[in-house]
Amino acid sequence: MTQYITPELRRWLQEQLQSGVKATDLVISMTQAGWQRKLALQAVAELKIDGWLGTAEAPRPAGLPEPDLADGASLIDAGDRQIQVLATVQHPRVVVLGNLLSRDECEAIVAAARPRMHRSETVAEQREGSEVNTARTSSGMFFERAENPVIERVEARIARLLRWPVENGEGVQVLNYQAGAEYQPHYDYFDARHASTASILKRGGQRVGTLVMYLNTPRRGGATTFPDIKLAVQAVQGQAVFFSYARPEPSTLTLHGGASVLEGEKWVATKWLREGRFS
């Protein structure tokens, strides 16, 4: 059975640490209860490293990608398209967007990606590179920046919408989730403890924002979930969800996942934004 660190577990661990329970005793207690030792060590280490800031928002550094939400704007001019602001959350910064992509654009991206799909991987923890992870049961591919006219147009729109340079974005990744596929809760920033992180950061620094664009509407399931804040964003063709994270820490509350597709399939396009120029 796959195990992962849930918000409920982190809150319980926080309470134990604050009450004076030793970290080593917590790890022993978790392993005796059936938790994998590696996961128990990771859970306790994360809390000790970031001091658990809870829901108190730390100062937001200048220079994060961000739509212009001044004066409660409900529409944002992205150059060639008016983007709808459907919902916002302050902490973590989450913005649900409508009318980001047209139906034709969604279908064109899927058509270009479909022949190049392969089993999705995640950043390897113990070695350089990536690896298949049972927590992620999708297939995917990456476009190069400006690889075709549709991708180039969408990237320019995103840059204007989020006020972030095109060159600071990774190539668009397209993912396909068949019925039963999911991506269990995770963070998008690069973990300093992973072997690959040092080399990854040389190519533009940390990730600071994520934009998930929905290329179709599954018949049931497939929402993007944020367990820390009990938020679920339904996958609706042409819409998107954006979130940013000022620090590579769980205190950003950006734990998120792709809920299991219950009927039909789900296609998404993800754009990750870096601190600096991505090469």
Determine the Cα–Cα distance for residues 119 and 183; give it in Å rounded to an integer.
Answer: 12
- Residue pair 256/186 in contact (Cβ under 8 Å)? The answer is yes
Q: Apex CA 273: angle with CA 198 and CA 60, to 5°? A: 90
Q: Which residue from 98, 122, 83, 135 is spatially nearest to 217, judged by alpha carbons?
A: 98
- Residue pair 194/128 in contact (Cβ under 8 Å)? The answer is no
Confidence (pLDDT) at 196? 87
Confidence (pLDDT) at 59? 39
Determine the Cα–Cα distance for residues 142 and 217; give it in Å rounded to an integer.
Answer: 21
Residue 23 amino acid letter = A
Instruction: Say if residue 150 is exposed, middle or buried (CB neighbours under 10 Å; 0-12, 13-18, 19+).
Output: buried
Q: Which residue from 239, 242, 271, 269 is spatially nearest to 256, judged by alpha carbons?
A: 242
Q: Which residue from 257, 246, 223, 244 is spatially nearest to 69, judged by alpha carbons?
A: 244
The pLDDT-based confidence of 49 (bands split at 50, 70, 90) is very low
- Domain boundaries along the sequence of the chain: 7-50, 70-274
Cα within 13 Å of Cα(1), Cβ side: 5
For 70-274, which CATH class? mainly beta
Residues linked to residue 128 through DSSP beta bridges, in sequence order: none
Return mean pLDDT, the chain: 87
The per-residue pLDDT for range 183-237, each reduced to its tens digit, is 999 999 999 888 889 999 999 999 999 999 999 999 999 999 999 999 999 999 9
- Residue pair 257/225 in contact (Cβ under 8 Å)? The answer is yes
Least confident of 20-24, 29-33, 70-74, 240-244: 20-24
**Alpha-carbon distance values, 260 to 7, 167, 184, 201, 268 (Å):** 19, 33, 9, 31, 14
User: Residue 277: is its pLDDT beyond 90?
Assistant: yes
The per-residue pLDDT for range 154-181, each reduced to its tens digit, is 999 999 999 999 999 999 999 999 999 9
Q: Which residue from 227, 137, 229, 211 is spatially nearest to 179, judged by alpha carbons?
A: 137
- 7 prior amide bond cis, ω within 30: no
